[in-house]
Protein backbone atom coordinates (compact mmCIF):
# COMPACT_ATOMS: atom_id res chain seq x y z
CA UNK A 1 0.00 0.00 0.00
CA UNK A 2 1.44 3.36 -1.02
CA UNK A 3 1.79 6.06 1.60
CA UNK A 4 1.34 9.19 -0.54
CA UNK A 5 2.32 11.76 2.03
CA UNK A 6 2.31 12.12 5.76
CA UNK A 7 0.83 14.85 7.83
CA UNK A 8 2.78 15.55 11.00
CA UNK A 9 0.61 15.44 14.11
CA UNK A 10 1.03 18.20 16.62
CA UNK A 11 -1.38 20.92 15.63
CA UNK A 12 -2.98 20.57 19.04
CA UNK A 13 -5.74 18.28 17.79
CA UNK A 14 -3.86 15.20 18.91
CA UNK A 15 -3.33 16.31 22.49
CA UNK A 16 -6.94 17.55 22.75
CA UNK A 17 -8.29 14.28 21.33
CA UNK A 18 -6.16 12.08 23.58
CA UNK A 19 -6.83 14.24 26.63
CA UNK A 20 -10.55 13.66 26.27
CA UNK A 21 -11.21 10.92 23.72
CA UNK A 22 -14.96 11.30 23.38
CA UNK A 23 -16.51 8.84 21.00
CA UNK A 24 -16.25 9.68 17.30
CA UNK A 25 -15.44 13.39 17.62
CA UNK A 26 -11.84 13.66 16.47
CA UNK A 27 -10.34 12.07 13.39
CA UNK A 28 -6.73 11.03 12.96
CA UNK A 29 -4.25 12.43 10.43
CA UNK A 30 -4.62 9.83 7.71
CA UNK A 31 -7.07 7.63 5.88
CA UNK A 32 -6.82 4.65 3.57
CA UNK A 33 -8.49 4.63 0.17
CA UNK A 34 -8.78 1.79 -2.37
CA UNK A 35 -10.73 2.08 -5.62
CA UNK A 36 -12.75 -0.62 -7.30
CA UNK A 37 -14.12 -0.97 -10.79
CA UNK A 38 -15.83 -3.99 -12.29
CA UNK A 39 -13.27 -4.34 -15.08
CA UNK A 40 -10.07 -3.68 -13.08
CA UNK A 41 -10.95 -4.99 -9.59
CA UNK A 42 -9.37 -3.42 -6.48
CA UNK A 43 -6.60 -0.93 -7.26
CA UNK A 44 -4.62 2.07 -6.14
CA UNK A 45 -4.45 1.24 -2.41
CA UNK A 46 -3.06 4.29 -0.62
CA UNK A 47 -2.65 5.98 2.74
CA UNK A 48 -3.37 9.68 2.32
CA UNK A 49 -3.84 12.67 4.63
CA UNK A 50 -7.33 12.70 6.18
CA UNK A 51 -9.56 15.07 4.23
CA UNK A 52 -12.67 15.53 2.11
CA UNK A 53 -13.45 13.05 -0.64
CA UNK A 54 -14.16 14.31 -4.10
CA UNK A 55 -17.43 12.71 -5.18
CA UNK A 56 -19.43 13.09 -8.39
CA UNK A 57 -22.91 14.32 -7.32
CA UNK A 58 -24.36 11.53 -9.47
CA UNK A 59 -22.62 8.84 -7.34
CA UNK A 60 -24.99 5.97 -6.61
CA UNK A 61 -24.36 6.07 -2.86
CA UNK A 62 -25.85 9.57 -2.64
CA UNK A 63 -29.10 8.55 -4.32
CA UNK A 64 -29.71 4.86 -3.75
CA UNK A 65 -27.86 4.35 -0.49
CA UNK A 66 -25.47 1.70 -1.77
CA UNK A 67 -22.90 1.82 1.00
CA UNK A 68 -21.79 -0.30 3.97
CA UNK A 69 -19.44 0.15 6.89
CA UNK A 70 -17.76 -1.54 9.86
CA UNK A 71 -16.53 -0.51 13.29
CA UNK A 72 -13.69 -2.14 15.24
CA UNK A 73 -11.12 -1.14 17.82
CA UNK A 74 -7.32 -1.09 17.99
CA UNK A 75 -5.56 -1.19 21.37
CA UNK A 76 -2.06 -0.29 22.48
CA UNK A 77 -0.43 -3.14 24.42
CA UNK A 78 2.32 -2.97 27.03
CA UNK A 79 4.77 -4.75 24.66
CA UNK A 80 4.56 -1.76 22.30
CA UNK A 81 2.38 -3.55 19.73
CA UNK A 82 -0.95 -2.37 18.38
CA UNK A 83 -3.60 -5.07 18.21
CA UNK A 84 -7.09 -5.08 16.69
CA UNK A 85 -9.96 -6.97 18.31
CA UNK A 86 -11.47 -9.64 16.04
CA UNK A 87 -10.45 -7.93 12.82
CA UNK A 88 -11.10 -11.09 10.78
CA UNK A 89 -14.68 -11.36 12.03
CA UNK A 90 -15.24 -7.71 11.09
CA UNK A 91 -13.71 -8.37 7.66
CA UNK A 92 -16.14 -11.24 7.06
CA UNK A 93 -19.14 -9.21 8.18
CA UNK A 94 -18.02 -6.33 5.95
CA UNK A 95 -17.93 -8.68 2.96
CA UNK A 96 -21.37 -10.09 3.73
CA UNK A 97 -22.85 -6.60 4.22
CA UNK A 98 -21.38 -5.65 0.82
CA UNK A 99 -22.87 -8.76 -0.80
CA UNK A 100 -26.31 -7.92 0.65
CA UNK A 101 -26.13 -4.50 -1.01
CA UNK A 102 -24.88 -5.97 -4.31
CA UNK A 103 -21.44 -4.45 -3.79
CA UNK A 104 -17.97 -5.96 -4.38
CA UNK A 105 -16.55 -7.99 -1.49
CA UNK A 106 -13.18 -6.69 -0.29
CA UNK A 107 -10.74 -9.61 0.25
CA UNK A 108 -10.12 -10.26 3.96
CA UNK A 109 -6.35 -9.78 3.52
CA UNK A 110 -6.83 -6.26 2.07
CA UNK A 111 -9.22 -5.35 4.89
CA UNK A 112 -6.65 -6.41 7.51
CA UNK A 113 -3.77 -4.72 5.68
CA UNK A 114 -5.73 -1.46 5.43
CA UNK A 115 -6.29 -1.45 9.22
CA UNK A 116 -2.62 -2.25 9.80
CA UNK A 117 -1.44 0.57 7.54
CA UNK A 118 -3.75 3.17 9.05
CA UNK A 119 -3.03 2.14 12.65
CA UNK A 120 0.70 2.37 12.01
CA UNK A 121 0.50 5.70 10.18
CA UNK A 122 -1.54 7.13 13.06
CA UNK A 123 -0.02 5.12 15.91
CA UNK A 124 0.35 8.30 17.98
CA UNK A 125 -3.45 8.55 18.05
CA UNK A 126 -3.96 5.21 19.81
CA UNK A 127 -4.75 6.15 23.42
CA UNK A 128 -2.68 4.80 26.29
CA UNK A 129 -5.33 4.75 29.00
CA UNK A 130 -7.35 1.71 29.96
CA UNK A 131 -10.77 1.48 28.40
CA UNK A 132 -9.73 3.74 25.54
CA UNK A 133 -8.82 2.65 22.02
CA UNK A 134 -8.63 3.75 18.42
CA UNK A 135 -12.03 3.19 16.81
CA UNK A 136 -11.55 2.27 13.17
CA UNK A 137 -14.29 2.84 10.62
CA UNK A 138 -13.93 1.01 7.27
CA UNK A 139 -16.58 1.94 4.68
CA UNK A 140 -17.47 1.15 1.09
CA UNK A 141 -19.44 3.52 -1.11
CA UNK A 142 -20.85 3.16 -4.62
CA UNK A 143 -19.21 5.85 -6.75
CA UNK A 144 -20.43 5.23 -10.28
CA UNK A 145 -22.26 8.35 -11.49
CA UNK A 146 -25.63 7.46 -13.04
CA UNK A 147 -29.30 7.80 -12.25
CA UNK A 148 -31.26 4.54 -12.27
CA UNK A 149 -31.59 1.63 -9.92
CA UNK A 150 -28.94 -1.01 -10.56
CA UNK A 151 -25.70 -2.00 -8.82
CA UNK A 152 -22.89 0.50 -9.25
CA UNK A 153 -19.91 -0.77 -11.25
CA UNK A 154 -17.49 1.41 -9.30
CA UNK A 155 -16.83 1.80 -5.61
CA UNK A 156 -14.39 3.33 -3.14
CA UNK A 157 -13.27 1.63 0.02
CA UNK A 158 -11.99 3.85 2.80
CA UNK A 159 -10.81 3.59 6.39
CA UNK A 160 -10.83 6.45 8.87
CA UNK A 161 -10.16 6.35 12.60
CA UNK A 162 -11.01 8.22 15.76
CA UNK A 163 -9.69 7.85 19.33
CA UNK A 164 -12.44 6.44 21.53
CA UNK A 165 -13.26 6.89 25.17
CA UNK A 166 -16.47 5.68 26.82
CA UNK A 167 -19.60 5.69 24.64
CA UNK A 168 -22.34 6.43 27.16
CA UNK A 169 -21.74 8.87 29.96
CA UNK A 170 -22.90 7.28 33.23
CA UNK A 171 -23.27 3.82 31.69
CA UNK A 172 -22.31 2.05 34.92
CA UNK A 173 -25.72 2.77 36.41
CA UNK A 174 -27.38 1.30 33.37
CA UNK A 175 -29.28 2.85 30.51
CA UNK A 176 -33.01 2.86 29.91
CA UNK A 177 -34.44 1.57 26.66
CA UNK A 178 -37.53 2.92 24.93
CA UNK A 179 -39.91 0.29 23.56
CA UNK A 180 -40.71 1.49 20.08
CA UNK A 181 -44.24 0.63 18.97
CA UNK A 182 -44.23 2.98 15.99
CA UNK A 183 -41.00 2.10 14.24
CA UNK A 184 -39.17 -1.02 13.14
CA UNK A 185 -35.47 -1.24 12.46
CA UNK A 186 -35.63 -4.15 10.05
CA UNK A 187 -38.05 -6.72 8.67
CA UNK A 188 -37.96 -10.22 7.21
CA UNK A 189 -35.93 -10.28 4.01
CA UNK A 190 -34.67 -6.74 4.65
CA UNK A 191 -31.20 -5.44 5.45
CA UNK A 192 -31.19 -5.81 9.25
CA UNK A 193 -28.19 -8.13 9.24
CA UNK A 194 -26.16 -5.81 6.99
CA UNK A 195 -24.27 -2.85 8.37
CA UNK A 196 -25.66 -0.26 5.97
CA UNK A 197 -26.44 3.39 6.59
CA UNK A 198 -30.13 3.11 5.72
CA UNK A 199 -30.79 0.92 8.77
CA UNK A 200 -29.42 3.64 11.02
CA UNK A 201 -31.15 6.54 9.24
CA UNK A 202 -34.48 4.71 9.53
CA UNK A 203 -33.94 4.17 13.26
CA UNK A 204 -33.45 7.87 14.05
CA UNK A 205 -37.09 8.94 14.64
CA UNK A 206 -37.36 6.11 17.18
CA UNK A 207 -34.17 7.35 18.87
CA UNK A 208 -35.69 10.81 18.94
CA UNK A 209 -38.73 9.39 20.79
CA UNK A 210 -36.45 7.49 23.15
CA UNK A 211 -34.54 10.63 24.08
CA UNK A 212 -37.81 12.56 24.55
CA UNK A 213 -38.83 9.87 27.04
CA UNK A 214 -35.59 9.94 29.02
CA UNK A 215 -34.10 6.81 27.42
CA UNK A 216 -30.64 6.44 25.92
CA UNK A 217 -31.58 3.90 23.25
CA UNK A 218 -34.46 2.12 21.56
CA UNK A 219 -35.52 -1.47 22.06
CA UNK A 220 -36.54 -2.79 18.67
CA UNK A 221 -38.89 -5.76 18.47
CA UNK A 222 -39.81 -7.87 15.45
CA UNK A 223 -41.54 -5.89 12.72
CA UNK A 224 -44.36 -8.39 12.13
CA UNK A 225 -45.76 -8.93 15.64
CA UNK A 226 -43.83 -6.49 17.84
CA UNK A 227 -43.56 -9.29 20.36
CA UNK A 228 -40.00 -10.52 20.19
CA UNK A 229 -36.97 -8.61 21.40
CA UNK A 230 -34.43 -7.95 18.65
CA UNK A 231 -31.84 -5.24 19.36
CA UNK A 232 -31.11 -2.40 21.73
CA UNK A 233 -30.43 0.42 19.26
CA UNK A 234 -27.01 -0.28 17.84
CA UNK A 235 -26.26 -3.04 20.32
CA UNK A 236 -27.27 -6.66 20.82
CA UNK A 237 -28.99 -7.61 24.06
CA UNK A 238 -28.47 -10.27 26.74
CA UNK A 239 -30.67 -11.47 29.61
CA UNK A 240 -29.20 -13.18 32.66
CA UNK A 241 -31.43 -15.59 34.58
CA UNK A 242 -31.10 -16.85 38.15
CA UNK A 243 -30.09 -20.34 36.95
CA UNK A 244 -26.87 -18.95 35.37
CA UNK A 245 -28.39 -18.94 31.89
CA UNK A 246 -27.66 -16.12 29.47
CA UNK A 247 -30.17 -15.61 26.67
CA UNK A 248 -29.81 -13.52 23.53
CA UNK A 249 -32.22 -13.41 20.58
CA UNK A 250 -31.25 -15.67 17.66
CA UNK A 251 -29.88 -14.23 14.41
CA UNK A 252 -33.09 -14.01 12.43
CA UNK A 253 -31.81 -11.97 9.49
CA UNK A 254 -33.21 -8.79 11.06
CA UNK A 255 -30.49 -8.61 13.74
CA UNK A 256 -26.89 -7.55 13.18
CA UNK A 257 -24.58 -10.48 13.99
CA UNK A 258 -22.57 -8.55 16.55
CA UNK A 259 -18.94 -9.47 17.05
CA UNK A 260 -19.27 -8.56 20.74
CA UNK A 261 -22.41 -10.73 20.93
CA UNK A 262 -20.47 -13.69 19.57
CA UNK A 263 -17.56 -12.95 21.95
CA UNK A 264 -19.88 -12.78 24.97
CA UNK A 265 -21.57 -16.07 24.04
CA UNK A 266 -18.16 -17.68 23.79
CA UNK A 267 -16.71 -16.16 27.00
CA UNK A 268 -19.88 -16.96 28.96
CA UNK A 269 -19.54 -20.63 28.02
CA UNK A 270 -15.84 -20.52 28.94
CA UNK A 271 -16.89 -19.13 32.34
CA UNK A 272 -19.35 -21.96 32.95
CA UNK A 273 -22.60 -20.19 32.13
CA UNK A 274 -25.24 -21.69 29.90
CA UNK A 275 -25.39 -19.24 27.01
CA UNK A 276 -28.18 -19.75 24.51
CA UNK A 277 -29.75 -18.08 21.52
CA UNK A 278 -33.54 -18.23 21.67
CA UNK A 279 -36.48 -15.89 21.10
CA UNK A 280 -37.44 -13.84 24.14
CA UNK A 281 -40.56 -11.68 24.29
CA UNK A 282 -41.19 -8.40 26.05
CA UNK A 283 -43.85 -10.26 28.06
CA UNK A 284 -41.29 -12.84 29.24
CA UNK A 285 -38.96 -9.96 30.18
CA UNK A 286 -41.78 -8.36 32.23
CA UNK A 287 -42.81 -11.60 33.95
CA UNK A 288 -39.24 -12.72 34.73
CA UNK A 289 -38.35 -9.29 36.12
CA UNK A 290 -41.48 -9.39 38.33
CA UNK A 291 -40.75 -12.90 39.63
CA UNK A 292 -37.09 -12.13 40.32
CA UNK A 293 -35.95 -14.83 37.93
CA UNK A 294 -34.38 -12.21 35.66
CA UNK A 295 -31.20 -10.96 37.29
CA UNK A 296 -29.64 -8.69 34.70
CA UNK A 297 -30.07 -7.25 31.26
CA UNK A 298 -27.15 -5.82 29.34
CA UNK A 299 -26.44 -4.56 25.85
CA UNK A 300 -23.25 -5.28 23.92
CA UNK A 301 -21.40 -3.75 20.98
CA UNK A 302 -17.98 -2.58 19.88
CA UNK A 303 -18.56 1.07 20.74
CA UNK A 304 -19.92 0.70 24.28
CA UNK A 305 -18.63 -2.87 24.89
CA UNK A 306 -20.99 -3.88 27.77
CA UNK A 307 -23.75 -1.57 28.99
CA UNK A 308 -26.14 -2.59 31.78
CA UNK A 309 -29.81 -1.99 30.99
CA UNK A 310 -31.63 -0.49 33.97
CA UNK A 311 -35.10 -0.66 32.50
CA UNK A 312 -37.52 -0.78 29.62
CA UNK A 313 -39.94 2.09 29.21
CA UNK A 314 -43.00 2.19 26.91
CA UNK A 315 -46.26 4.08 26.44
CA UNK A 316 -47.85 2.19 29.36
CA UNK A 317 -44.97 0.06 30.51
CA UNK A 318 -42.07 0.23 32.94
CA UNK A 319 -39.88 -2.80 33.61
CA UNK A 320 -36.97 -2.21 35.93
CA UNK A 321 -33.99 -4.51 36.31
CA UNK A 322 -31.87 -4.53 39.45
CA UNK A 323 -28.78 -2.27 39.38
CA UNK A 324 -25.71 -4.31 38.41
CA UNK A 325 -23.47 -5.09 41.37
CA UNK A 326 -19.72 -5.51 41.19
CA UNK A 327 -20.20 -9.29 40.82
CA UNK A 328 -22.76 -8.93 38.05
CA UNK A 329 -22.29 -10.91 34.86
CA UNK A 330 -22.15 -7.59 32.99
CA UNK A 331 -19.17 -6.41 35.02
CA UNK A 332 -17.44 -9.81 34.88
CA UNK A 333 -17.88 -9.80 31.11
CA UNK A 334 -16.65 -6.26 30.79
CA UNK A 335 -13.56 -7.07 32.89
CA UNK A 336 -12.87 -10.21 30.87
CA UNK A 337 -13.18 -8.40 27.55
CA UNK A 338 -11.14 -5.47 28.80
CA UNK A 339 -8.32 -7.83 29.88
CA UNK A 340 -8.29 -9.33 26.41
CA UNK A 341 -8.46 -5.95 24.68
CA UNK A 342 -5.52 -4.63 26.67
CA UNK A 343 -3.47 -7.82 26.45
CA UNK A 344 -3.55 -8.73 30.18
CA UNK A 345 -5.03 -12.16 29.55
CA UNK A 346 -3.94 -15.09 27.44
CA UNK A 347 -5.76 -14.70 24.12
CA UNK A 348 -6.87 -18.32 23.89
CA UNK A 349 -9.31 -17.73 21.03
CA UNK A 350 -6.70 -15.73 19.07
CA UNK A 351 -8.99 -12.75 18.76
CA UNK A 352 -6.32 -10.03 18.78
CA UNK A 353 -4.66 -9.35 15.40
CA UNK A 354 -1.11 -8.07 15.76
CA UNK A 355 -0.66 -4.91 13.67
CA UNK A 356 3.01 -4.48 14.57
CA UNK A 357 4.92 -2.17 16.86
CA UNK A 358 3.51 1.31 17.33
CA UNK A 359 6.95 2.86 16.89
CA UNK A 360 8.09 0.94 13.79
Ligand X SMILES: Cc1ncc(COP(=O)(O)O)c(C=O)c1O
Contacting positions for ligand X (CB under 6 A): 71, 231, 234-236, 256, 258-261, 301-302
- 231 forms bridges with which residues in the sheet? 220
Q: How far is the CB of 47 from ligand X (least distance, A)?
A: 25
When the beta carbons of 150 and 208 are compared against ligand X, the nearer one is 208
Q: How far is the CB of 50 from ligand X (least distance, A)?
A: 22
When the beta carbons of 121 and 235 are compared against ligand X, the nearer one is 235
Q: What b/e readout covers 37-55, taking b as 16+ CB neighbours within 10 angstroms?
A: eeeeeeeebbbbeeeeeee
CA-wise closest residue to 141 among 86, 190, 96, 98: 98
Displacement of CA 107 from its chain's centroid (Å): 20
DSSP SS3 for 171: helix
CA angle 136, 142, 145 (to 5 degrees): 145
Rounded to the nearest 5°, which phi and psi values hold at 134?
A: -105, 115
Q: H-type helices in the chain, by residue range?
A: 13-19, 60-64, 87-100, 108-121, 197-212, 259-270, 282-291, 329-341
Max Cα-Cα span within the chain? 62
When the beta carbons of 142 and 207 are compared against ligand X, the nearer one is 207
Q: How far is the CB of 304 from ligand X (least distance, A)?
A: 9
Q: How far is the CB of 289 from ligand X (least distance, A)?
A: 23
Q: How far is the CB of 89 from ligand X (least distance, A)?
A: 8
When the beta carbons of 50 and 200 are compared against ligand X, the nearer one is 200
When the beta carbons of 305 and 358 are compared against ligand X, the nearer one is 305
Amino acid sequence: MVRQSTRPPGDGRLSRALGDPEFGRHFTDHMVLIDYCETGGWRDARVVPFGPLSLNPGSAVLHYGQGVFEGLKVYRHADGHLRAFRAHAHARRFASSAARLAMPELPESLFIESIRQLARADAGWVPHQRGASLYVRPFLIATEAFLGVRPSREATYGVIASPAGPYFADADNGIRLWLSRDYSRAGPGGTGEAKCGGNYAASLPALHQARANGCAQVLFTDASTRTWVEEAGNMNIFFVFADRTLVTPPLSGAILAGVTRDSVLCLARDMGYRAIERPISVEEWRAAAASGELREVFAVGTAAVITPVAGLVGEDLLIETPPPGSRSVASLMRAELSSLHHGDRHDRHEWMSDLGRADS
